[in-house]
């Protein structure tokens, strides 16, 4: 990505071994062990495990995790994602919000991210369960800061309103990649404009809600395209941004090939340019994922005038 005009699709395939800046330490530590044990006991799904996040040790060690509700089977098949794709057949655990609320209280977390698989098999996409989960956490752990990473609900702002009305502090919806590659990398039911419009809808419904999105690099985008995507997000009033390196989950054909490892200096450049655009906070780096160090941004809000 050093040449803004060069498409990464024109570069040779990356080496099979990760470069030195893609190195993940094995998870360890007392807090990590405690949360791992509780998650198993409480039978919770975490996107940290399901999506094979490289930062699981660091985030859990800091007492932050991302819980995945509405099951572990996604109705969509985005080509970058490790989560299982299938048909959940409308099955919903209506008691899940209560159990998650009790679990968060037991874990005594300062910050929690609630996400879910896409549930296009449900009339409301799971919005009601999502909102109830937020309320159950608020009732039992009023000090816990809540970030939600939601589906796009097919672009239906009336469904997003259910989430907004529950008043989590941060509402995220990931754009994932640049406009040109969206139809190739993401499921056909997702959309570049659809994501932007949902993010804008949050601000229209409640201007005080903080919004967030995420971009993965290494699909074949150019620097200019990434900067354009960042400008589009700011034009839709997005406050927070995460930029990370795509790492292919498997060698299976359904998973999009990794076109290039992006050097850390590029992430630094994008962060600098993004802050000039007006983002409140940007996490950018090879191992950054959507919810990486989410609690750092929350601390900024707590001290903001």
Q: What pTM did the predictor assign?
A: 0.86
- Greater confidence (171 vs 21) lies with 171
pLDDT tens string 132-183: 999 999 999 999 999 999 999 999 999 999 999 999 999 999 999 999 999 9
Helix (H, G, I), strand (E, B) or coil at 217: strand
* Helix ranges, 22-156 (H): 30-42, 47-50, 56-61, 96-107, 127-140
Number of domains, the chain: 1
pLDDT tens string 92-140: 999 999 999 998 898 888 889 999 999 999 999 999 999 999 999 999 9
Helix (H, G, I), strand (E, B) or coil at 211: strand
CATH number at residue 225: 3.20.20.70
- Greater confidence (106 vs 284) lies with 284
The CA–CA distances, whole Å, from 175 to 51, 97, 156, 249 equal 17, 26, 16, 19
In a domain, 19, yes or no: no
* pLDDT value, residue 291: 73
Q: Is the dihedral of CA 218, 222, 225, 229 positive or negative?
A: positive
In a domain, 13, yes or no: no
Average of per-residue pLDDT across 202-221? 97
Which residue range forms the structural domain that includes residue 169? 24-303
In a domain, 155, yes or no: yes
* pLDDT value, residue 289: 79
* pLDDT value, residue 4: 42
In a domain, 1, yes or no: no
* pLDDT value, residue 82: 86
In a domain, 256, yes or no: yes
Rounded CA separation 185/187 (Å): 7
In a domain, 11, yes or no: no
Residue corresponding to tokens 């060690």:
61
Rounded CA separation 165/20 (Å): 45
């Amino acid at each position: 990505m050093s040449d803004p005009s060069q498409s990464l699709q024109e570069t040779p395939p990356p080496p099979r071994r990760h470069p030195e800046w893609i190195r993940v330490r094995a998870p360890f530590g007392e807090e990590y062990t405690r949360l791992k044990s509780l998650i198993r006991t409480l039978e919770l799904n975490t996107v940290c495990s399901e999506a094979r996040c490289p930062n699981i040790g660091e985030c859990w060690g800091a007492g932050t995790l991302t819980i995945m509700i509405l099951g572990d089977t996604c109705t969509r098949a985005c080509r970058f994602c490790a989560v299982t794709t299938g048909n959940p057949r409308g099955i919903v655990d209506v008691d899940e919000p209560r159990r998650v609320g009790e679990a968060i209280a037991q874990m005594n977390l300062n910050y929690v991210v609630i996400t879910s698989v896409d549930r296009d098999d449900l009339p409301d996409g799971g919005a009601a369960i999502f909102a109830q989960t937020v309320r159950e956490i608020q009732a039992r752990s009023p000090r816990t800061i809540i970030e939600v990473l939601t589906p796009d609900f097919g672009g239906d702002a009336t469904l997003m309103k259910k989430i907004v009305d529950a008043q989590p502090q941060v509402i995220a919806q990931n754009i994932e990649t640049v406009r040109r590659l969206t139809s190739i990398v993401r499921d056909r039911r997702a959309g570049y404009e659809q994501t932007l419009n949902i993010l804008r809808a949050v601000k229209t419904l409640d201007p005080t809600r903080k919004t967030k999105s995420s971009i993965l690099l290494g699909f074949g985008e150019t620097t200019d395209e990434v900067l354009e995507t960042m400008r589009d997000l700011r034009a839709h009033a997005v406050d927070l941004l995460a930029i990370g390196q795509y790492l292919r989950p498997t060698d299976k054909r359904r998973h999009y090939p990794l076109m290039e490892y992006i050097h850390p200096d590029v992430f630094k450049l994008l962060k600098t340019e993004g802050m000039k655009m007006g983002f409140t906070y940007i996490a950018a780096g090879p191992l950054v994922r959507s919810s990486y160090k989410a609690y750092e941004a929350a601390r900024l809000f707590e001290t903001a005038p």
